[in-house]
Structure 1
Amino acid sequence: MKSQVFVLGPGYVGRAIIDLLHSEGKYEITTLVRTEKALKDLSDDGANTVLGSLDDTNLIEQLAAQSDVVFHTATSDHLASAQAILRGIAKRASQGKHTIYLHQSGASCLSDQSAGNNPNNEVYSDSTTAQIDTLSPTAPHRKIDLAIVEERQKLGSLARIFIWMPPIIYGNNGKHKRISIQIPALTRFALKNGHAGYVGTGKNAWSFIHVLDLAKAYTQVLHWLETAPRSDLGLQNPYFFCESGEISWADVASMIGKNLYRAGRIVSPEPHVISDSEYVDLFGKYTPDIVGCNSRSSADRLRLMGWKPEQPDVQEAFEKEDLPLILLESGKFEPPNITLS
């Protein structure tokens, strides 16, 4: 009998997870989609599809209650949808049913809000919860993370719940042509303004991970959780990082400038400092926090489990995977709509 899997957020990361699970042939996958087109596309790929949105919390609770495994990769800032999943898991627990829940948060919660001017030697490890437990409850995504941790403690052994904090996600799945947020946003900014840019000195750094390496890590942890005995001490730590290296924002800008210049889309490869008035073309007041601060992490748990990144590094993937898609874009420039909460 196939395990029932519910994927909330079948987009950039979620779609890659669905593809991997479908290829294994032992999961019945259901996902929530917002459009008729997505409903058809996912159905064609073998998933059961339900039309709805993150605000359809009763529906999300029902789908979670029917599922042995739940992934939430839609957003790290929608508390109601995460709470709906937890209610569904609690309903299963009241019936003696076990659930695995993998929730995607984000490495913005690790950021130091230093706005491009403060290289930081602190690298967060997920080998223990010690560093993560020092994070402010007002840090980005932290309100939801803490709500999940609290419910995790209440549910005990009937639910194996883990929070993922991926850093810059890059690259794309060649089948679906979906791309990420941060580096593409900086690339579109450069195309509009005629120059690549960085915040402050650009010395701050973020860790990064290819979307397909992240999806592979999710499935590897899922398989561990399906068989791990209750005595496994790893079950006590609710956090996972996933990274394959790091890059400074100045190096990101240099990478973008060099490639756009080579493509004949800007007049110079040299990046400039992004002024406060230009934040409107990026993430508004959140620009320094999203593309300017430090967020450095080490995927120690995954590496101990034998996980290894296999995809091209961030610069090669930008040249071969992301940039070609961005250069094909047309229409009115629209800055990304994203907030941190």
Structure 2
Amino acid sequence: MTPIDTRIFLTGATGYLGGSVLSRLIEHPTYEHTEIWVLIRPSNESKIPVFRSLGVKTVLGTYDDLDLLEDQAAHADIVFACADADNLPGAQAILKGMRMKHERTGVQPLLIHTSGTGVLIDDAKGLHSTDIIYDDMNPDQIDSLPPTQPHRNVDLAILKADRDHYVKSYIILPSTVYSHAKTKLVALGVQNPRSIQIPMLIRAGLVKGQGGVVGKGENIWPNVHIGDVSDLFIVVYENALLDKAAHGREGFYFGENGEHKMYDVSKAVAQALHELGKGRSPEPEPFTEDDYEHFGRSNLEYLGTNSRCRGRRGRLLGWKPKYTTENVLKSIKFEAEYVIQHEKA
């Protein structure tokens, strides 16, 4: 029997990002000596046999099951938190368990946590861009982020745990993640293959009957392909195992490989919907008050924010993203076709 050297607890195993990271861990050379436990929602209980067939152990529960999260974290050498970046009680339960692990063993467990560049957003409403670009090699700049920003309260709790020396924390911040995931778990039917932001814009266009844009679409966001950002998690993981990856306040890793003006994405959506007979014009039209009312103001206004960053820290560890903004724009028609085919407009 192969000896187990490392126990991993991973959340978000059936999700777009978490499933992609888990697929890479299963295929990684360390898997032979690793025991992986994943959190599965009761609604996904039917998927458990597939995970077990891959050698992945499962525990049934949600982020509301705080005792369960604490217990799993207390027995893990590494936690990959790939779900619910805004759930502070869930994060605190994981940290409490990791503190117990440290007190019992004297070893600092590793926490690879998923945040997001939503922590950088402003209130532009699509009317302007910004010259403020955050650099993950500048911890003082990241420290300046207000605690009221999205994800920030969870990030700060994790940073405190690192300062208290019972956890080594590595916070990965994906940006606009795009393209369908193509993993073993997707092929087996247990992972969501789809992203969030661009399909959200497509759905709003379908409801409107025309590709739309928030304000003037002057705001700017970074982007990253699902394959590239999954690779970033693995690069951080490999370097953390060797104690070569910075952690704590210097352990922020932006997942980006270029950026786009939202008008360009909105125009690509409008063109795709027009070509598919679902839009009046190939030029995007500003969303109206009725559109905000119908689709949700907070959802659309989020698409009008600025979020700019540079991900240098991961690259210094060896991360080599391949896909660019050109790939974002090329992916949109396929996304539109998929939404039209698989969802009710």
How does the TM-score come out when normalised to structure 2?
Answer: 0.89
Matches within 5 A, 1:81-160: 81-95=90-104, 96-154=106-164, 156=165, 158-160=166-168
C-alpha spacing 1:79/1:103, structure 2 compared with 1 (3 Å): same
Paired AA for residue 8 in structure 1: T
Q: CA RMSD in A?
A: 1.9
Q: Would the aligned equivalents of 1:186 and 1:282 in 2 still touch at CA under 8 Å? A: no
SS of 1:208's partner is strand
Corresponding position: 1:308 with 2:311: no
2:189 match: none
1:3 to 3, 6, 30: 6
Q: Distance in 1 between matches of 2:49 and 2:200?
A: 28
1:208 aligns with 2:223: yes
Query: Does the CA-based 8 Å contact 1:54-1:81 persist in structure 2?
Result: yes
More off after superposition, 117-126 vs 25-34: 25-34
For residues 165-314 of structure 1, the aligned pairs below 5 Å read: 165-175=173-183, 176=186, 178-228=193-243, 237-288=250-301, 290-311=302-323, 313-314=327-328
Q: 1:235 to 1:52 in 2, by over 3 A?
A: closer
Work out whether 1:13 is the aligned partner of 2:17.
yes
Q: Is the Cα–Cα contact under 8 Å of residues 171 and 253 in structure 2 kept in the other structure?
A: yes
Q: Is the 8 A contact 1:172 1:212 kept in 2?
A: no
Could you tell me which residue of structure 1 aligns to residue 35 of structure 2? 28
User: What TM-score comes out, normalization by structure 1 length?
Assistant: 0.90
Q: Deviations over 1:281-306 (max 9, x none)?
A: 44433532x20011011101012222
Alignment partner, residue 63 of structure 2:
54
Unaligned runs of 5+ in 2: 187-191
Q: State the identity as a percent.
A: 31
CA offsets, 1:181-234, max 9 Å, x none?
1110110111121111111111101001111211110011011010126xx766
Q: 1: CA distance between counterparts of 2:286 and 2:228?
A: 32
Answer with 254-263 or 79-88: which moved more: 254-263
d(CA) in 2 for partners of 1:234, 1:91: 20
The Cα shift of 1:310 comes to 2.4
The farther-off stretch of 262-271 and 96-105 is: 262-271
Q: What count of residue pairs does the alignment treat as equivalent?
A: 326
Give the direction of change, closer, same or farther, for the CA distance of 1:280–1:329 in structure 2 (3 Å limit): farther
1:73 partnered with 2:82 = yes
SS in 1 for 2:153: helix
Letter of the 1:163 counterpart:
I
CA distance in 2, matches of 1:29, 1:318: 35
Distance 1:328 1:174, change over 3 A: farther
Q: Which amino acid aligns with 1:162?
A: Y
Instruction: Specify every segment of 5 or more residues in structure 1 that has no aligned partner in the other structure, as ranges.
Output: 334-341
Quick one: which amino acid aligns to residue 318 of structure 1?
I
Name 1:336's counterpart in structure 2: none
Change (3 A) 1:280 1:9: farther
1:20-69 CA deviation, whole Å, 9 max, x = no partner?
00001333211111121332343344321111111001001111111111
